[in-house]
Protein backbone atom coordinates (compact mmCIF):
# COMPACT_ATOMS: atom_id res chain seq x y z
CA UNK A 1 0.00 0.00 0.00
CA UNK A 2 1.23 3.52 -0.83
CA UNK A 3 2.67 5.70 1.92
CA UNK A 4 0.74 8.76 3.06
CA UNK A 5 1.89 12.00 4.66
CA UNK A 6 -0.33 14.09 6.91
CA UNK A 7 0.31 17.09 9.17
CA UNK A 8 0.76 16.11 12.78
CA UNK A 9 -1.89 18.47 14.12
CA UNK A 10 -4.43 21.10 13.11
CA UNK A 11 -6.87 23.41 14.89
CA UNK A 12 -10.25 24.51 13.60
CA UNK A 13 -12.84 26.89 15.02
CA UNK A 14 -16.19 25.37 15.87
CA UNK A 15 -18.69 25.85 13.03
CA UNK A 16 -16.01 26.42 10.42
CA UNK A 17 -14.93 23.95 7.76
CA UNK A 18 -12.03 21.68 8.65
CA UNK A 19 -9.80 20.83 5.69
CA UNK A 20 -7.42 17.97 6.35
CA UNK A 21 -4.76 17.33 3.68
CA UNK A 22 -3.06 14.09 2.76
CA UNK A 23 -0.22 13.48 0.33
CA UNK A 24 0.03 10.12 -1.42
CA UNK A 25 2.38 10.82 -4.32
CA UNK A 26 3.19 7.12 -4.93
CA UNK A 27 -0.42 6.03 -5.25
CA UNK A 28 -1.08 3.49 -7.99
CA UNK A 29 -4.05 3.32 -10.31
CA UNK A 30 -5.99 0.69 -8.41
CA UNK A 31 -5.49 2.12 -4.93
CA UNK A 32 -8.35 3.77 -3.07
CA UNK A 33 -8.06 6.63 -0.58
CA UNK A 34 -9.77 5.94 2.75
CA UNK A 35 -10.29 8.21 5.73
CA UNK A 36 -10.91 7.03 9.27
CA UNK A 37 -10.87 8.87 12.57
CA UNK A 38 -10.38 7.80 16.14
CA UNK A 39 -11.90 9.71 19.00
CA UNK A 40 -10.22 9.19 22.35
CA UNK A 41 -11.22 5.89 24.00
CA UNK A 42 -13.28 4.77 21.01
CA UNK A 43 -12.66 2.44 18.09
CA UNK A 44 -11.69 3.83 14.68
CA UNK A 45 -14.62 5.19 12.70
CA UNK A 46 -14.88 4.96 8.92
CA UNK A 47 -15.55 8.34 7.30
CA UNK A 48 -15.33 8.11 3.52
CA UNK A 49 -13.36 6.61 0.64
CA UNK A 50 -12.84 7.24 -3.06
CA UNK A 51 -10.84 6.22 -6.11
CA UNK A 52 -10.62 9.31 -8.32
CA UNK A 53 -13.92 11.16 -8.24
CA UNK A 54 -14.82 13.51 -5.41
CA UNK A 55 -17.12 11.88 -2.87
CA UNK A 56 -19.59 13.26 -0.34
CA UNK A 57 -21.59 11.60 2.39
CA UNK A 58 -23.39 12.69 5.54
CA UNK A 59 -20.13 13.08 7.44
CA UNK A 60 -17.68 14.66 5.04
CA UNK A 61 -16.46 15.37 1.53
CA UNK A 62 -13.36 13.91 -0.09
CA UNK A 63 -11.59 15.91 -2.75
CA UNK A 64 -8.97 13.99 -4.77
CA UNK A 65 -6.68 15.91 -7.11
CA UNK A 66 -6.72 15.04 -10.78
CA UNK A 67 -3.29 13.38 -10.59
CA UNK A 68 -4.47 11.55 -7.43
CA UNK A 69 -1.27 12.41 -5.60
CA UNK A 70 -3.08 14.21 -2.81
CA UNK A 71 -6.50 14.54 -1.27
CA UNK A 72 -8.39 16.67 1.24
CA UNK A 73 -11.00 15.60 3.73
CA UNK A 74 -13.51 18.35 4.41
CA UNK A 75 -15.72 18.48 7.48
CA UNK A 76 -18.08 21.28 6.42
CA UNK A 77 -19.16 22.52 9.87
CA UNK A 78 -16.81 21.20 12.54
CA UNK A 79 -18.15 20.57 16.02
CA UNK A 80 -16.36 19.86 19.28
CA UNK A 81 -17.26 16.19 18.81
CA UNK A 82 -15.10 16.12 15.66
CA UNK A 83 -11.94 16.45 17.77
CA UNK A 84 -10.07 13.24 16.94
CA UNK A 85 -7.06 11.78 15.15
CA UNK A 86 -7.79 11.53 11.42
CA UNK A 87 -6.08 8.85 9.36
CA UNK A 88 -5.61 8.87 5.60
CA UNK A 89 -4.95 5.41 4.17
CA UNK A 90 -4.23 4.34 0.63
CA UNK A 91 -4.78 0.71 -0.16
CA UNK A 92 -5.52 -1.75 -2.89
CA UNK A 93 -7.94 -4.62 -2.75
CA UNK A 94 -6.19 -7.98 -2.35
CA UNK A 95 -8.70 -10.57 -3.32
CA UNK A 96 -8.57 -13.71 -1.21
CA UNK A 97 -6.24 -12.40 1.47
CA UNK A 98 -6.52 -10.39 4.62
CA UNK A 99 -6.99 -6.72 3.92
CA UNK A 100 -5.95 -5.51 7.30
CA UNK A 101 -5.66 -1.78 7.94
CA UNK A 102 -2.45 -0.06 8.90
CA UNK A 103 -2.71 3.44 10.31
CA UNK A 104 0.09 5.96 10.15
CA UNK A 105 0.45 8.77 12.67
CA UNK A 106 -2.56 10.71 11.41
CA UNK A 107 -3.58 14.31 12.07
CA UNK A 108 -4.78 15.36 15.50
CA UNK A 109 -7.66 17.74 14.76
CA UNK A 110 -8.70 19.93 17.65
CA UNK A 111 -11.93 21.85 17.25
CA UNK A 112 -11.86 24.97 19.38
CA UNK A 113 -14.97 26.61 20.90
Partner 1 sequence: GAGVSQSPSNKVTEKGKDVELRCDPISGHTALYWYRQRLGQGLEFLIYFQGNSAPDKSGLPSDRFSAERTGESVSTLTIQRTQQEDSAVYLCASSLAVSNQPQHFGDGTRLSIL
Residues in the site for partner 1, rule: CB under 8 A? 32, 34, 41-46, 49, 93, 95, 97-105
How far is residue 11's CA from residue 1's CA, in Å, rounded to a whole number? 29
Least distance (Å) between residue 113 CB and partner 1: 25
CA distances in angstroms from 40 to 13, 98, 108, listed in the order given: 19, 27, 11
Q: Which is nearer to partner 1, 46 or 112 (CB)?
A: 46
Least distance (Å) between residue 20 CB and partner 1: 17
Q: How many residues are present in the chain?
A: 113
Q: What DSSP letter does each residue of 54-68 carry, written as one string?
A: -EE-SS-EEEE-TTS
Q: Which is nearer to partner 1, 26 or 105 (CB)?
A: 105
Least distance (Å) between residue 37 CB and partner 1: 11
Amino acid sequence: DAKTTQPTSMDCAEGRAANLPCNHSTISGNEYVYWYRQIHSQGPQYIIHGLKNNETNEMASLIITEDRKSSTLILPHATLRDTAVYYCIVRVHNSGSARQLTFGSGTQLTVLP
